[in-house]
Amino acid sequence: MYIESILPEITGDKYNGDGTLTSRDYLTIDDFDVDGKTVLVRVDLNVPMDPEENILDDMRIKSHIPTLKDLEDAKVVLLAHQSRAGKSDFTTTKPHARRMSQYLGKEVEYVDDIFGSHARTRIASMEKGDVILLENVRFYAEESLKRPAKEHAQTHMVKKLSPLMDIFLNDAFAVSHRSQLSITGFTEVLPSGAGRVMEKEITSLDRGLKGSECPCIFVLGGAKVDDSLKVAENVLTNGSADRVLLTGVVANVMLAAIGVDIGKTSMDFIESQGYLDQIERGKQIMDKFDGQIGLPEDVALNDDGKRVEVMVDELPADGLPINDIGIETIVAYSKELRNAKTVVLNGPAGLSEVEPFALGTHEVIKAAVHSEYSIAGGGHISAEVRNMGYDDRFSHLSTGGGACIDYLAGMVLPGIEAFKKAASRYKHNS
C-alpha cells in the first residue's frame, strides 16, 4: 500500500496537471519527502578485492555518495552484494562499509545480518541521519533466483524488511538487467524510485539513444559479438545512430561476414566463443544497413607480442591472431569521431590489456572526447577511460557492463521496469 504522506504534492514541469509524468515515467529522490523516513536503497558495491579482502577499485562505492548525501535527513538502509557463491571474493560487506564511511564523512554501520532479528532490531532503532549497510544479499540463496517481481515480493526478505521501510530506491543500475529479489521484490510493496546513479544512467544513455545531437556515432568492440550486433541493429533501426564503427572480435566476425579470410587462428577463436552463427547474422545486418557500418581497413596481428600491421585485403597472414585495429583504421575512425556531436563507446578495440594492442582503444577514447557529448559503456571500456585519466573528459561513464549493453540494445531491464510500474501504480492510486 502506498503511503501518501511520503510523496510531496506533484507539481512543476515533471508532471502534467492530471498527475501523469511528462519528462520521465519513474520517480526519483526529488519526488519523495524523505525527511525522517526509513529508505531502503539497493546499491551496487560489487568491487574487485584481493585475497586479504582489500578493495582494489572503489569506483562503484564512490558513485553512490551523491545519493547518500541527498538522503542525509533520512534513515538509510543499504542492500548490496559482493561477488557470487564459489568465487574467492565472495565475502561480507564489512570492508565496503568502512570505505563508504571514509567518502561519506560519517559512519556507515555494517550489520552482519540481512533480515533476521538482529537486522530488524537495528533498523527499528535507527535515528535520522543514520546509515547502515546490511550483509551481502547473495548470502541468501533466494536472492539469485530469477523470478517475476510478484514472486520475489512473497519471499521472507521482502516480508520481513518491507514493514520497516517507507521507500525503496534502486541505485544499482549495473545489476538491474537481472530480475533478482533485492532489485525487483520491494517495488511491489513500497513506494519506489531511482537513486542518483540510476537516474544519471537513464538520463545519459537516453541522450545517446533518443535525444542525440547529430552526427551520432557508436563504436562497438570487445568480444561479446551477439550483444554488439543487438546494439548495432537497435540504434540503426531506430535512427539513434548515424554510423556504427566496429572494432574487436565483432569487427572480425563482420569481416568474415563480407567474405574476408581473417585467418584460422581468429576464426578458431570465434568458434571457441560460440559465435560462428553470428557471421550469417552479421551479413544480414551489413546488407540491411549498407553504408552505415564502418569496418577496419587494416588490422594489427600479434606475432609473439609484436604488433604487425596488415591491410585487410592482405589477410590471412601466417596464421597470426588479429588483436587490434590497424593505424589506417585508427586514423579514419578518429577523424569521424572528432567530427561527431555524440559518441557512444562500448567495448575495447583490441586486446587492450596487452600494451602493443591497446593503441586502438586508447586512440578511439582520445578522439571521442572531442565530441559534444561522449558516453563510455561499462566494463572494460570505462576501466580504460579511468586508467587513462580521462574520466572528467567524458560526459558519462556507465557503471554497468551487461546492463549498459542491454539498455543500448533496446531491451527491457527488469529492475528499471519494476520501479516504473511502481510509479504508474502510485499515479493511479493517488
Length of the chain: 430
Q: Is 82 annotated as a binding residue?
A: yes
* Ligand-binding site membership of 56 (annotated): no
Q: Is the distance from CB of 146 to CB of 180 less than 8 angstroms? A: yes
Contacts of 202 (CB under 8 A, 6+ apart): 24, 26, 173, 194, 416
Nearest to 137 by CA among 101, 161, 103, 121: 161
Q: State the Cα–Cα distance between residues 171 and 115, nearest whole angstrom.
A: 20
Q: Is 302 helix (H, G, I), strand (E, B) or coil?
A: strand
The answer to whether 154 is annotated as binding is no
Annotated ligand binding at 88? The verdict is: no
How wide is the angle at C-alpha 384 spanned by C-alphas 381 and 386, nearest 5°?
115
Cell of residue 150, nine digits: 510478484
Cell numbers linked to 328? 589506417
CA count, 13 A, side-chain hemisphere, 250: 28
Given a contact cutoff of 8 angstroms between Cβ atoms, the answer to whether 132 and 126 are in contact is: yes
Q: Is 370 annotated as a binding residue?
A: no
Q: Which amino acid is at 169?
A: L
60 is in an annotated binding site: yes
Residue 379 annotated as lining a ligand binding site? yes
CA-CA distance, 31 to 68, in Å (whole number)? Answer: 16
Is 378 annotated in a binding site? The answer is yes
Say if residue 316 is preceded by a cis peptide, omega within 30 of 0: yes
Is 98 among the annotated ligand-binding positions?
Answer: no
Cis, bond preceding 148 (omega within 30 deg of 0): no
Ligand-binding annotation for 83, yes or no, is: yes
Instruction: Tell how far CA 88 is from the center of its chain.
Output: 23
CA dihedral 246, 251, 254, 258 (to 10 degrees): 100
> What CA–CA distance (Å, rounded) separates 48 from 68?
22
Query: What Å distances lie between residue 163 and 3, 6, 79, 167, CA to CA?
Result: 12, 14, 16, 10
Q: Is 266 annotated as a binding residue?
A: no
Number of H helices, E strands in the chain: 17, 15
**84 annotated as a binding-site residue:** yes
Q: Is 292 annotated as a binding residue?
A: no
Query: Which residue ranges are tagged as binding site for (2R)-3-phosphoglycerate?
Result: 60, 138, 178
- Residues of each annotated binding site: 44-46, 60, 81-84, 138, 178, 353, 378-381
Binding-site positions for substrate: 44-46, 60, 81-84, 138, 178
Tell me the binding residues for ATP. Answer: 353, 378-381
